[in-house]
């Protein structure tokens, strides 16, 4: 497991049709290298009536984005940044901001 975007991070889209859109990471799909970001890449889906959606109709939900098209927004300096790695005294690796060098939880 690499050190990269995690659920709960803020992310910004850096390329493609959603460029500039920002939101909280709702989930990460590491096997597909994709992330789902709140409010970004909304897709409309036709939903047949079922137990959960008795009316059926069109539902909107976030589509996944290619992880490489997104960047972490640093919680410390609020800038989009690549994720660096710092090795702590106990050998644990922690993510860090390449811009402000702060450790990111």
| Residue numbers at the binding site for Zn ion (CB under 5 A) | 74, 76-77, 97, 99-100
- Give the residue with the Cβ less far from Zn ion, 13 or 97: 97
d(CA 8, CA 27): 8
Are 84 and 18 in contact by the 8 Å Cβ rule? The answer is: no
Least distance in Å: CB of 53 to Zn ion? 41
The single-letter DSSP state of residue 68 is G
Least distance in Å: CB of 97 to Zn ion? 3
- Give the residue with the Cβ less far from Zn ion, 16 or 75: 75
């Amino acid at each position: 497991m690499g050190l990269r975007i995690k659920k709960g991070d803020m992310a910004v889209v850096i390329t493609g049709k959603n460029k500039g859109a920002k939101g909280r990471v709702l989930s990460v799909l590491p096997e597909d290298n994709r992330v789902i970001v709140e409010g970004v890449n909304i897709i409309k889906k036709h939903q047949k009536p079922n137990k959960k959606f008795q009316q059926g109709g069109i539902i909107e939900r976030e589509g996944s984005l290619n992880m490489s098209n997104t960047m972490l927004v640093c919680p410390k300096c609020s800038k989009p940044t690549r994720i660096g790695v710092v090795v702590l005294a106990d050998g644990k690796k922690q993510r860090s901001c390449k811009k402000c060098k702060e450790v990111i939880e």
